[in-house]
Each structure stands twice: as structure tokens, then as C-alpha cells.
Homo-oligomer: A and B are copies of this chain.
Amino acid sequence: MQLFGERLMEAVKTRRTHVVVGLDPDYELLPSDVRAAHPREAYEDEAQMKAACYREFLNGILDAVVEDAVAVKIQLAYFEALGAPGYRLYEELVGPARSRGLLVIADAKRGDIGSTAEAYARAHLDNAGADALTVNPYLGTDSLEPFLRRAKEAGKGLFVLVKTSNPSSTDIQDLRLDSGERLYERVAELVSGWGRDTASPHGYSSVGAVVGATHPQEGAALRALMPAVPFLVPGYGAQGAGAGDLRGFFDPRGLGAVVNSSRAILYAYRQHPETSWQDAARRETQDMKAALWRVAGLE
């Protein structure tokens, strides 16, 4: 069994891309041909109609980005917002993404304790079959245990929120501790410790960190503080960060971080009315891939 940290870094090297495509479906932003193909009256209710639109659109996106992405990140909230049909679609997307060779990150930001954390791990890593899950550290070590067990025993990964991309991440994450550190730096140390038993030959463990692209200085400092921790980096594109902001997120080999973009890829067709939505998504992914590859110092 290959550990997740190794699978992720191998995938970056062999697929030659750091791009994670975020699947954040939004009915209002879907191409008009996708919406027209699924009229409301053909479905039992609105949620089933929207789920059918999302299914067609997201499978089309998978086809468009498969050559240029290393992973997809499924944002659970948009699926839950459709209720049970949305939840079913989430489960149905994991297989097709994995069979195309993409890693699947379930962006659920779950965090609970004991048997409840165990149920979340079962839901997303065992049953839905995602390769990795995002989790929230606020409840501490015992809330991570079911996920850590699957990292060791089943080659799964997790990404713990450390320093998120939103403006109010300062409210709690940046609080100064009596030790002089900021809170997110202490969380980073905890994350390093949680991953220690899952180090791979590439040097990266199966316990990653979410570090927002909107914080270039903090990202570089965290790269040094957590040398064995892979980063999942949100905030690129629609949230305002560019490739240049990410130089410090990579290690000297150009590894150590994968970077997510959701809306800028999914809805690229809105900026390029002359091209199809799939071509627009493909081109946006290719541009992002090339920009990151350069910034990571790889030819």
C-alpha cells in the first residue's frame, strides 16, 4: 500500500502539474446549453433537475481537465445544498474522477469527536471512496484519530485547516499566544506531529495543511516550519492570488504544494464567449498549470 503523501507527490511529478480543480457547482453559473438540456418538467423536483445538470457539467469538466490536473476537490456544501440527490451525485463523482487517474479530495472541513469522527471518516474515505478529506483542527488530537488510522492503514490523506484564505482568518488563526507564536503556527506544529508516522520516501507525510494562497509570507514561513507537510492551497484565481504569490509554498524540488482553483476554471467560458465551456476550462487549467510549474522552478 502506498501512503497518500507519496501518491500525491508521485502524481505531481508524473502528471507534471500542481493544479487541483475545485468542483463547486452553482446552477446560476452553468452554461445555458447544460441548463436547456434538463428542463424542470423532466424531473420530479428542482433538486433532481439541478443534480442532473451538475452531473453533466462536472463529468464534462473532468474530461476537459484530466490531462492538466493532479486532483479534484469536491466541495461538499454545494452537493448538500441539493439534499439527498446532491449527496448521491457526490458519491457518484468519486469513481469517474479516480478512474481518470485524478486524486479526489473531499472538501468537507469536518471535525467532531470519538464515534462521530469515526462516522465521518467512514462516510467520506471508506464509503464515498475519496483519497483525502479536509478537516478542522479546533477539537484537537482525539478528533483526528479515525482519520489518522485510515492514513496509516488505507493510504488515505487529510488536509487540516491551518491558515485559511479568507480575510477573517485573522480573527482566531492569527491570535498571538503567550509563547510568542501565532495560533496557526502552533496548529502547524500539531499537524507536523500528526503526520509523523506517515512519512513517505519523497519526504511528505499523509497529513497535509490547508494554507491560503492569499498569504504569501505566511505560506513561505509555514513551508519552512512544516517541511514534511503537503499543502493544499486555496484562494488562487477567483479569490485574487496569482502564481507569483506561491513561490515560497514549494520546496527546492518544486514539490510540496498543490493549488486549487474552482470558479476561475469551471466558469472560464463566461470570460471567453468565443469558445466552448469545456475548451475554456481546459485552457484555463493549462494556463494555471504552466504558471505554477514555472513558479515552482520546474523548467
By a beta-carbon cutoff of 8 Å, the part of chain A in contact with chain B is: 24, 26, 75, 77-78, 80-81, 83-85, 87-88, 91, 109-117, 119-120, 122-124, 127-128, 136-143, 161, 164-173, 175-178, 180, 183, 186-187, 190
Given contacts A177-B176, A178-B178, contact A166 B140 (CB under 8 A): yes
Across the interface, do A172 and B138 meet the contact criterion of CB distance under 8 Å?
yes
Given contacts A80-B119, A81-B123, A177-B177, 10 further A-B contacts (CB under 8 A): A77-B117, A80-B123, A81-B119, A83-B128, A138-B164, A139-B161, A139-B164, A142-B167, A172-B187, A175-B183
Given contacts A83-B91, A171-B190, A177-B175, contact A77 B112 (CB under 8 A): yes
Of all chain B residues, the one with the shortest Cβ separation from A170 is: B140
Interchain CA distance A181-B83 in the complex, whole Å: 41
Residue with the highest number of chain B CB atoms closer than 10 Å, among A81, A122, A137: A81
Q: Is the interface of A mostly helix, strand, loop or mixed?
A: helix
Across the interface, A109 reaches (CB within 8 A) one of B26, B110, B169, B177, namely B110
Across the interface, A141 reaches (CB within 8 A) one of B109, B168, B177, namely B168
Task: Point out the residues of chain B lying under 8 angstroms from A84, CB to CB.
Answer: 84-85, 87-88, 91
Task: Point out the residues of chain B lying under 8 angstroms from A123, CB to CB.
Answer: 77, 80-81, 83
Of all chain B residues, the one with the shortest Cβ separation from A128 is: B83
Across the interface, do A161 and B138 meet the contact criterion of CB distance under 8 Å?
yes
Would you list 18 pairs from A and B whose C-beta atoms are within 8 A, ordered by A residue? A24-B116, A75-B119, A77-B117, A80-B119, A80-B123, A80-B124, A81-B123, A137-B138, A139-B169, A139-B172, A139-B173, A140-B172, A141-B171, A142-B166, A175-B183, A175-B186, A176-B177, A176-B178
Of all chain B residues, the one with the shortest Cβ separation from A91 is: B83
Interchain CA distance A167-B143 in the complex, whole Å: 10
Across the interface, do A127 and B81 meet the contact criterion of CB distance under 8 Å?
yes
Residue with the highest number of chain B CB atoms closer than 10 Å, among A85, A169, A171, A183: A171
Given contacts A109-B112, A167-B142, A183-B183, contact A87 B77 (CB under 8 A): no
Residue with the highest number of chain B CB atoms closer than 10 Å, among A78, A113, A142, A175: A113
Interchain CA distance A24-B186 in the complex, whole Å: 33
Chain B nearest CB from A206 CB (Å) reads 20
Interchain CA distance A173-B140 in the complex, whole Å: 8
